[in-house]
Chain A
Amino acid sequence: MSMKFTTREVGGVTIVDLSGKITLGEGGLTLREEVHKLLAEGKKKIVLNLAEVNYIDSSGLGELVSAYTGVKNAGGELKLLNLTSKVRDLLVITKLVTVFDVKDDEAAAVSSFA
């Protein structure tokens, strides 16, 4: 199953609910394209909810990094919410867990934006 996402607004923060796999070659709009679209709409407080992402590979990790740097370079903030154990394990192995602000609670994630 390829990646799917829906977006919603909570307290001035855009939450992107992702599901499926974040990998190379799955087709459709990529995560970085979706984030670029949000930035073009002026949305710079972004939370990626990964609760339904059960698979990620190195390309998927690259997509997360590209999304993060894209938002940061635009003067915004991107945070991760609800990591599954598989995604968390890979973020730990690659030390990307030290880069991202990772939250386990949506309300806390929303309120953590300045």
Chain B
Amino acid sequence: MTDSTTNRGSMTLESELSSVDPVEAKAEGLAREAGFDEDTSSQIAMVVREAVINAILHGNKKDPAKQVHVSYELNDEALRIKVADEGPGLDPDSVPDPLAPENILRSSGRGIFLMKAIMDEVHFHQLNPGTEIELIKHRVKKELSA
């Protein structure tokens, strides 16, 4: 497959909240490059921010000895961003449904839900140690002119 437009790279971040903004900006830039509109690009950047914050706070628990690893790939088909922590691991099925009536007024627990709502695919990979979240948004195909 021709992938002359592939743009890929990676970033390694310290486990502190100041690491979040550069990743968010990178994600928004990639989304715009992929051709998503401003609102969609902003939402993609926001859920990448959610993934990085989760990795820092819940995965690495702000342990300065641990890092967050972000990799991205933009090709003809999709924008794919992976965020990995070095924490004890996450069971995504254990996260309560934030839409359930008993959870709707909780002040937290909406991050993963937003990732799933906004991206086309969200995959969790268990690492040793850590968890990797893979976020995929398919590019909108432009019709080929005759």
Contacts and interface: CB of A to CB of B under 8 A. Distances in A.
Chain A complexes with chain B:
yes
Interface of A: 23-25, 55, 57-59, 61-63, 65-66, 68-69, 85-86, 89-90, 93-96, 98-99
Contacts of A25: 17, 20, 53
30 contacts: A23-B49, A24-B17, A24-B53, A25-B17, A25-B20, A25-B53, A55-B42, A55-B46, A58-B50, A58-B110, A58-B111, A58-B114, A59-B53, A62-B107, A63-B107, A65-B106, A66-B107, A68-B105, A69-B105, A86-B42, A89-B43, A90-B114, A93-B114, A93-B117, A94-B99, A94-B114, A95-B104, A96-B104, A99-B104, A99-B105
Interface residues of B, number: 22
Contacts of B110: 58, 61-62, 94
Q: Which 9 A-B pairs have the closest CB atoms?
A: A62-B107, A58-B110, A25-B17, A58-B111, A66-B107, A93-B117, A62-B108, A65-B107, A95-B99
B39 interface: yes
A15 B104 CA distance: 25
**Which secondary structure dominates where chain B touches chain A?**
helix
Nearest to A63: B107
Nearest to A27: B17
Contacts of B46: 55, 57
A40 to B, nearest CB: 20
